[in-house]
Amino acid sequence: MTSLLSGKNIVVMGVANNRSIAWGITQSLHNAGANLIFTYRQERSKQKLNKLLDKHGIEPRMVVPCDAEDDQSIEQAFQKIGEEAGIIHGLVHSIAFANAEELQGEYADTSRDGYLLAQNISAYSLVAVTREARKYMTEGGSIVTQTYIGAERVVPNYNVMGAAKAALEASVRYLAEDVGKDDIRVNAVSAGPLRTLSAKGIAGFNDKVSAVEEKAPLRRQVDQDQVGDVNLFLLSELARGVTGEVLHVDAGFHTVA
């Protein structure tokens, strides 16, 4: 797999620490020879990222701040990336946020502000990022975002994020239609539960893991590497015929009743 992405400039958004899905993706992309550009929101994430890169001997092409809630920040980040890297070949969107108090109890109690916040950061950000990245994807390219089965089915506590991921998955299809004209593909990976910082302290996470181990055809959880490798596939030429797709990396859990 060493040469799958050699010489390709790939932007990775959403590494918070070593457990992040985006960090699993980073390792797959690095092993495939990609030049990696990172964006982060919090200073703490930047520090963790720099330490991880150092520890794993990965030399980043650039590390750029980008707040996915802010159009100007997105515009500036991609302008900087475009000016320095020239061409962007791929983009990984691995960003989501909802207020913790909206991730419990009844979905019917979701506030207007909480709903809009989750949609803004978790779904609209893909639209804004695609628009900016597209300007520099002059040789075609591939965009991959991360979703969860809570978009398709009712998963207790996922609530407002379920609505945000449903919007994200629909956006994948509409964006794929728009940017397909420029030979850019847009897909989503729907991962099984992974114990990340986002999942920490949220009620019901352990139940989701047990359900996968019990019910999924493969009868085991997925790990960061498996999710990373499917992102790699979608970013590579191997997936040149795939766009507007939601690909499950969940040990088959979504297929069983």
Residues with a catalytic annotation lie at 148, 158
CB of 138 to ligand KAL, least distance (A): 31
By C-beta, is 181 or 200 nearer to ligand NDP?
200
- Cβ contacts of 205-212, under 8 Å, gap ≥ 24: 207/156, 208/155, 211/253, 212/250, 212/251, 212/253
Residue 188 contacts residue 145 (beta carbons within 8 Å): yes
DSSP string, 165-185: HHHHHHHHHHHHHHHGGGTEE
Residue with tokens 């963790």: 48
Report if residue 171 touches ligand NDP, rule: CB under 6 A: no
Total residues at interface with ligand NDP (CB under 6 A): 28
Residue 250 contacts residue 216 (beta carbons within 8 Å): yes
Mask for 144-173, x = binds ligand KAL (CB under 6 A): ----x-x----x-xx--x------------
CA separation for the pair 64, 172 (Å, rounded): 24
Report if residue 114 touches ligand KAL, rule: CB under 6 A: no
CB of 77 to ligand KAL, least distance (A): 17
Amino acid at 69: E
CB of 220 to ligand KAL, least distance (A): 15
By C-beta, is 21 or 179 nearer to ligand NDP?
21
67 binds, among ligand NDP, ligand KAL, none (CB under 5 to 8 A by kind): ligand NDP
In this structure, the number of other CB atoms found within 10 A of the CB of residue 80 comes to: 16
CB of 67 to ligand NDP, least distance (A): 5
In this structure, the number of other CB atoms found within 10 A of the CB of residue 255 comes to: 11
Query: Which one of 39, 130, 187, 198 is in contact with ligand KAL (CB under 6 A)?
Result: 198
By C-beta, is 195 or 240 nearer to ligand NDP?
195
Residue 103 contacts residue 156 (beta carbons within 8 Å): no
CA separation for the pair 208, 118 (Å, rounded): 21
Residues in the chain: 257
List the one residue out of 39, 86, 84, 88 whose CA is nearest residue 65. 39
By C-beta, is 32 or 117 nearer to ligand NDP?
117
Report if residue 47 touches ligand NDP, rule: CB under 6 A: no
Sites for ligand NDP among residues 206-245 (CB under 6 A): none
Report if residue 100 touches ligand NDP, rule: CB under 6 A: no
In this structure, the number of other CB atoms found within 10 A of the CB of residue 24 comes to: 25
CA gyration radius, the chain: 17
Report if residue 130 touches ligand NDP, rule: CB under 6 A: no
Binding site for ligand KAL (CB under 6 A): 16, 96-100, 103, 148, 150, 155, 157-158, 161, 193, 197-199, 202, 204-205, 208
Site residues for ligand NDP per CB under 6 A: 14-16, 20-22, 40-42, 45, 67-69, 94-97, 121, 146-148, 191, 193-194, 196-199
